[in-house]
Amino acid sequence: MNRFAWVNPGSVEEAVAALGARAALKAGGVDLMDLLKERLIAPERLVNLRAIPGLDGIEERADGLHIGPLATLARLAEAQAVRLRYRALADAAGRAATPQIRNVATVGGNLLQRPRCWYFRSEDFLCKKKGGARCFAQDGENAYHAFLGNAVCAAVHPSAMAVALLALGGKLRIVGPRGEREAPLEGFFVTPEQDVLREHALGPQEIVTEVLVPPPAPGASSAYLKQGEKESYDWPLAEVAVLLEREGGRCRRASIVLGAAAPVPHRARAAEAALAGKAVDEAAARAAARAAVEGATPLADNGYKVTIAEVIVRRTILAAAQGSGT
Ligand SMILES: Cc1cc2nc3c(=O)[nH]c(=O)nc-3n(C[C@H](O)[C@H](O)[C@H](O)COP(=O)(O)OP(=O)(O)OC[C@H]3O[C@@H](n4cnc5c(N)ncnc54)[C@H](O)[C@@H]3O)c2cc1C
């Protein structure tokens, strides 16, 4: 790890000013410390977002849920309003990583963490994501890699928060050198075809200052399920968040997002269309789940993930259909 200066900004504006080409922003530091140790970054300054007070709130207002970027996953998982009315988000936060990591990891850092592909993380492989010419996973060890959208880079997007927040229609408040802007999570994540070197559309001197989730529509309910290789802490083989809005027992609108499937959180639009207008029962969930994995392009060792994803989509749709809160 390189030597760096430690900056404790007093405000978001001071933090923005301290950022730039040779600086990195630190929230909980779980991913950032790994990036430093793996020599994927070598900043001259670390800007400590946690020095700024008031960025860790979790508050439900008339216009929805306001989450500070420094709210930890543990607090989000336990917040009563989140558990009651934003169920998919609470469960995604509560199932990520380990209790120790959830006590430190923040919502903002989780959304903006970098992929865990072992070729990307290893100094020994100059993959496309680091400016090289090859995606080593495509003909290498790819059992945990993407089975959708994997033509350029096969790393899966790592963030459980992204999966749940995208399904619930979340957006980000962002502050940068040119002031404040809002960005819906829909369209915020960048595919390898758009730019293989990055995963999101945040500028180098921009900071996420709030995550906003709209209030549940009447008749809405949501669920999040994750399947790993083991019951104790694990990265997902499949994770799915579903938001259902129903009227008269039928699905008015569904939002279905798959994680661990593609380089960005994958909105399964064919599955959403398959549910529209239907009573959400076992047959409808099964048909939608099949549609969710249509077009899969599995690699040599990850075909089993397609089957698991299909099962988890079906189960999550049915879990959302049983719930009353979002
Ligand atoms: C063993 C292990 C298992 C894990 N399992 C899971 C899992 O199952 N699911 C899952 O989702 N995650 C998992 N993680 C990842 C973990 O949840 C993330 O690393 C963590 O949430 C990152 O949050 P942080 O606050 O520590 O971010 P940091 O490491 O501080 O920051 C991460 C990145 O985000 C940027 N950043 C942070 N906050 C902001 C902001 N407000 N504005 C702009 N940029 C910002 C930083 O500059 C940095 O680039 C796991 C990690 C480990 C080590």
Give the dihedral of Cα atoms 27, 30, 33, 34; nearest 10 deg: -140
Q: What is the largest CA-CA distance in the chain?
A: 62
Same domain, 4 and 36: yes
Q: Which atom of ligand 1 is nearest to the CA of 30?
A: 26
Rounded alpha-carbon distances, angstroms, from residue 108 to 20, 50, 187, 191: 18, 12, 17, 19
Domain CATH number, residue 26 = 3.30.43.10
Residue nearest atom 2 in ligand 1 by C-alpha distance:
97
* Total number of domains in the chain: 3
Q: What are phi and psi of 179, to 5 degrees?
A: 105, -150
**Which of 213, 238, 255 delimits the end of a domain?**
213
Same domain, 228 and 303: yes
For residue 70, how many other CB atoms are within 10 A of its CB?
22
Question: How many angstroms is it from 267 CA to the middle of ligand 1?
Answer: 22
Same domain, 167 and 237: no
Same domain, 35 and 65: no
Same domain, 286 and 170: no
Same domain, 109 and 237: no
The mean per-residue pLDDT over the stretch 21-38 comes to 96
Q: What is the pLDDT of residues 92-150, one digit of tens each?
A: 999 999 999 999 999 999 999 999 999 999 999 999 999 999 999 999 999 999 999 99
21: confidence class by pLDDT, cuts 50, 70, 90: confident
Domain CATH number, residue 226 = 3.30.390.50
Does 301 fall in a domain? yes
Q: What is the pLDDT of residues 223-269, one digit of tens each?
A: 999 999 988 888 999 999 999 999 998 999 999 999 999 999 999 99
What is the sign, positive or negative, of the torsion defined by CA atoms of 152, 195, 108, 32? positive
For residue 214, how many other CB atoms are within 10 A of its CB?
15
Q: What is the pLDDT of residues 266-280, one digit of tens each?
A: 999 999 999 999 999
Same domain, 191 and 230: no
Same domain, 159 and 228: no
Q: What is the pLDDT, as a whole number, of residue 324?
A: 54
Same domain, 107 and 225: no
Does 24 fall in a domain? yes
Domain CATH number, residue 194 = 3.30.465.10
- Cα separation, 241 vs 17, in Å, equals 36
Q: What is the pLDDT, as a whole number, of residue 233?
A: 83
- Cα separation, 112 vs 110, in Å, equals 6
Same domain, 31 and 162: no
21 Cβ neighbours under 8 A, 6+ residues apart: 204
82 Cβ neighbours under 8 A, 6+ residues apart: 58, 65, 76, 89, 90, 93
Does 133 fall in a domain? no
Does 275 fall in a domain? yes
Q: What is the pLDDT, as a whole number, of residue 231?
A: 82
Q: Which of 4, 6, 112, 207 to mutate to test the pocket of ligand 1 (most atoms within 8 A of CB)?
A: 112
Q: What is the pLDDT of residues 49-85, one digit of tens each?
A: 999 999 999 999 999 999 999 999 999 999 999 999 9
Does 147 fall in a domain? no
Does 145 fall in a domain? no
Which residues have C-beta atoms less than 6 Å from ligand 1?
24-32, 49, 69, 96-97, 101, 104-106, 108-110, 112-113, 158-160, 202, 207-208, 235-236
Same domain, 76 and 193: yes
170 Cβ neighbours under 8 A, 6+ residues apart: 184, 185, 211, 212, 213, 214
The pLDDT mean for the chain works out to: 96
Residue nearest atom 13 in ligand 1 by C-alpha distance:
97
Q: What domain range is 32 assigned to?
A: 1-48
Does 135 fall in a domain? no
Question: How many angstroms is it from 200 CA to the middle of ligand 1?
Answer: 14
17: confidence class by pLDDT, cuts 50, 70, 90: very high
Token code pair at residue 252:
């008015």
Strands (E), the chain: 5-7, 23-26, 45-48, 58-61, 64-67, 171-176, 179-184, 207-213, 220-227, 238-247, 250-259, 266-267
**Residue 317 pLDDT > 80:** yes
Q: Which atom of ligand 1 is nearest to the CA of 174?
A: 42
Same domain, 85 and 191: yes
Residue 161: name the closest of 181, 185, 184 by CA. 185
Does 290 fall in a domain? yes
Percent of the chain with pLDDT over 70: 99
115 Cβ neighbours under 8 A, 6+ residues apart: 129, 155, 156, 157, 158, 199, 263
Token code pair at residue 79:
């917040």
Question: How many angstroms is it from 276 CA to the middle of ligand 1?
Answer: 34
Residue nearest atom 43 in ligand 1 by C-alpha distance:
207
Q: What is the pLDDT of residues 31-42, one digit of tens each?
A: 999 999 999 999
